[in-house]
Every structure is written in C-alpha cells, then in structure tokens.
Amino acid sequence: MNHPRLIHACKAMLWRDLTLAWRRRGDIAMPVLYALIVTMLFPFALGPEDTLLQRIAGGIVLVTVLLAMLLTLDAMFSSDIEDGSLEQLVLSPQPLALLLGMKILAHWLTTALPLIVIAPLLAAMLHLPNAVIPILLLALLLATPLLSLLGAVLVALTAGTRRSGMLLALMLLPLCMPAVIFAAGAVAAAQQGLPWLAPIAWLAAALVLAVVLAPLACAAALRIALDA
Amino acid sequence: MTHWIPLWLHRLSSPPTFYRFAGAVWPWAMGLALLAGAIGLYGALVLAPPDYQQGDAYRIIFIHVPSAWMSMFIYAVMGVASFVALVWRIKLAEVVAMQSAPIGAAFTFITLVTGSLWGKPMWGTWWTWDARLTSELVLLFLYLGVIGLYHAFEDRRQGARAAGFLAIIGVINVPIVHFSVNWWNTLHQGSTINVFGASKIAADMLWPLLVLTLATKLYYVASLCRRVRTDLLALEGGKDWVRTLAAREAAP
C-alpha cells in the first residue's frame, strides 16, 4: 500500500517543481545568458588568438557552467521556505531524502540541462576542436549533477539564514574542486590525444556516491537548519 | 560496564564544571607553551646547524611544519567535536568545535604564509599550484566556510549544529581533495618525519621541531580554554551559575 504512494509522491514532487519552473520560463534562460556573456568576455580580455583560446576553452566552459549553476543554487529552496511548503515536505510521511532527491533532479533538469545544450556553442566560440566536444559534454553530464547534489546539501544548510549568496560560493569551492579537476582533466587529455577514460570514470564514481549520499545529507542538513 | 571511565570525565560536559576546569587549565597550558616555545626556538634558531643545501633558510620549517600539523589536528578535533555535538547534542561539544575553527584557520594561514616565504628562496616563487599548497588553501576555505556559516545564523546553537555538519562533510572531503590535486600536480617535497619508520632528518634538527610542536599544541589548549570560557558565559548568560559568578566578581 505504501509503495505506490511513494512513487506517486515523487512524481507529484517532480511535476510540481517542473511546472513551477515552466511558469517562470524567463528564470531558466538567465543562467544560459549569463554563461554566454561570460564566455564572450574571455576573448575580449585575452585576445582573439585561436591557439590560446583553444588551449583554455575546455576549462573556461566548465568554470562558466559551474558559476552559472552557482547563481541558481540559491533559489533552490527559497520560494518553498517563503510559502512554508518546505515545512510540509519535512512533515510528510514519505522519506524526506527521496523527495529532496526529486527536487534536486528538477533543479538539474531546469538549470544544468539548458547549459549542457548550449555548451557546444560556447566551446565552438572558443575554437575547441570538434572531436573534443563529445568528451566535454560527457564530462558536463557527469559533473553538473554532482554539483547540483553537493550544492543542494549546502543550500539546505543555509536554509535558515538570511544572506547566503557569497557564503554558498565559499562553501561550495572546496567541495566542487575535485569535480572540476577531473572534468577539466578529461577534456585536456582528449585534446592532447591521450586516454581520457580514467578521469571520466572517477567522475562517474563520485556521481554514484553523491546520488546515494547527498539526498540523505541534504535531508539531515535541512532538519538542522529548520528546527529553531 | 563503564566503571573504568572516571566520574569527572562526563561531569566535564556540564558548562559550569568545564568553566572552572578550563579556568584552572589555561594558565598552566599557556605557561608551558611559552616555556616550550622559548626552548624550541632557541634550539631551532641557535643550536641547530644550517642545512647543507638550503642554508639558514630552512629554519622556517620550525614554524611551518608545527603550524601545518596543527591546522590538520585542529580540523580533526573540530570534526570529532561536531560529530559528538550532532549525535549526543552536547552543548559543550558545539562550543569546542566552533571555538576551534578560528584557531585552526589562524594556524592554516600561518602555514600558508610561512610556506610562501620559504617557497621564494627554494623554488623561486611565492606560490605554485602544487598539491599540498592547494590542499592547505582548500583547508583554509573549509575553515572560513565553517566560521561564516556559524555566524550566518541568528540562533547560535542552530548555527553551531549547521556549521558542525559542514565540518563533518569537510572531513570526508579533505582526503578526496588531497588525492585529486595530487593526481593533478605535485612539486612539494615528501614527508621528512615519519611516525612509523626512520625519519629523514638529523636529530639536532628534530628535537626543536618536536618541542615546538608540543608548544603549538599547548598554545591551542590554552587558547581554546579561554575562548570556550568566554563563549560559555555569553551562551549561558541567563543561567544561575553565571549570575552567581557575576555577583561574586562584582562584590569587592
């Protein structure tokens, strides 16, 4: 009896968050625009030489996507805290970790996926060789959910505070560093014609670990941040 | 079953008892720290011979290495105290964890600055993106994140619990960061001192290093005791024991 209810709750959660995001479509476009603008600024600052841009293209795209995601992390729970639906979520009979997992999935679908879709365009703007772009996309597909999951834990921790923008960046930096290193390592290795599977495999392993642990940690963090 | 644990040990977790205990401990710890620091510095700066390769510049090791050890030791203390605070909800553990953070951040900062000063003559650069330097910098950011999160909450106990949770996440994260940056880039010299097996350092250089390590540990104890005492007074401001204390000190 309990089992189908759980699936229904998860579905409803995911559907609700996606609907809310769709009602404010303009917000989805913001990170994409931000990433475009940041990527555009690099050639102006560094000069338009192809060789230089080619060498740093992978790293720039990764960091830009990371920063664009960081901008949206702050809003992950804020509207739910304001209207009190987060408290209802904590009180609901379904496991909180699973419902939060759905929220994280919705966040990833609405912010990271559009960024991944325009990533080839960003990479092309910086003259990244076409052969490397699939590796970049693979790295982004593994690294962005990792960032969403880790970011959700930190956002949950700051849920009870008023100002959290800069603090979130400070807290996320140490956590996301390994993801950036491995994702950029894979792209750089592919660019030099070296085997790139090892860093991708490490990223995938980290993602599997985070998929299991991060929702639980997120639920625990939310319980800490909300009980006053 | 738990007869072997002395009774005073669990009594220490009560704020008034710990307040008295810390008040008795800190002058001794500070005195011994100053004494050990003086002896260690004399041994380090006067008695120890110059290095055959690095000359006198290597002497910065006597500040750099004890600080680096303390930066990690204090993080471990903070992690364990946070764990105790979250599992058993002991107020004192929260205070210890949160008051350790600024001391640990200071030691991390000293490590980075002295390392940078040492790097200039040895490697020819103030900073390099080496694995150990980067992990130490990340450690500093972890400390700053914990301190920042603690102060972002209006309720101090809630802030301590949230920041403690972050500290525990950091404990898991530090080995991952160290491993990943190691894989990424390495220039730093390997460990010279090994607890298990022979150390690669001369005995007359080793003893000042160990004495200074002891001095930093004692300083940490003294500093922590004073900070915890102050914080306990602020946290327990409305309680009877603080009032009696204040009344006693106010009366001539």
- State whether ipTM is beyond 0.90: no
Type of residue at A14: L
Hey, is A127 helix, strand or coil?
A: coil
Are the CB atoms for B78 and B38 separated by under 8 Å? no
Q: How far is CA A115 from CA A28, A147, B48, B188, in A?
A: 10, 13, 59, 37
B17 domain-assigned: no
Predicted confidence at residue A192, as pLDDT, reads 86
The rounded distance, in Å, linking the Cα atoms of B173 and B109 is 19
**Arithmetic mean of pLDDT, B87-115:** 93
The rounded distance, in Å, linking the Cα atoms of A179 and B212 is 37
Please judge whether A157 and B184 are an interchain contact, meaning their C-beta atoms are less than 8 angstroms apart. no
B244: domain range? 25-188+203-250
- For B236-251, write each residue's pLDDT tens digit: 888 888 888 888 888 7
B218 domain-assigned: yes
- For B208-227, write each residue's pLDDT tens digit: 889 999 999 999 999 999 99
Predicted confidence at residue B187, as pLDDT, reads 56
B1 domain-assigned: no
Residue bearing the bigger pLDDT, A149 or B10: A149
B19 domain-assigned: no
d(CA A38, nearest CA chain B) in Å: 24
Distance of alpha carbon B58 from its chain centroid, rounded? 23
Residues of chain B in contact with residue A217, where contact means CB-CB under 8 angstroms, are: 165, 169
B167 domain-assigned: yes
B120 domain-assigned: yes
Partner residue facing B165 (CB), from A174, A181, A221: A221
At CB < 8 Å, which residues of chain B contact A? 86, 138, 141-142, 144-145, 148-149, 152-153, 155, 158, 161-162, 165-166, 169-170, 173, 176-177, 179-181, 183-184
Are the CB atoms for A112 and A69 separated by under 8 Å? yes
B6 domain-assigned: no
Q: How many domains, chain B?
A: 1
The rounded distance, in Å, linking the Cα atoms of B64 and B120 is 14
Residue of A143, A185, A147, A153 whose CA lies nearest to A71: A147
Confidence of residue B193 (pLDDT cuts 50, 70, 90): low
Note if the pTM is more than 0.90.
Answer: no
- For A107-129, write each residue's pLDDT tens digit: 999 999 999 999 999 999 888 88
B14 domain-assigned: no
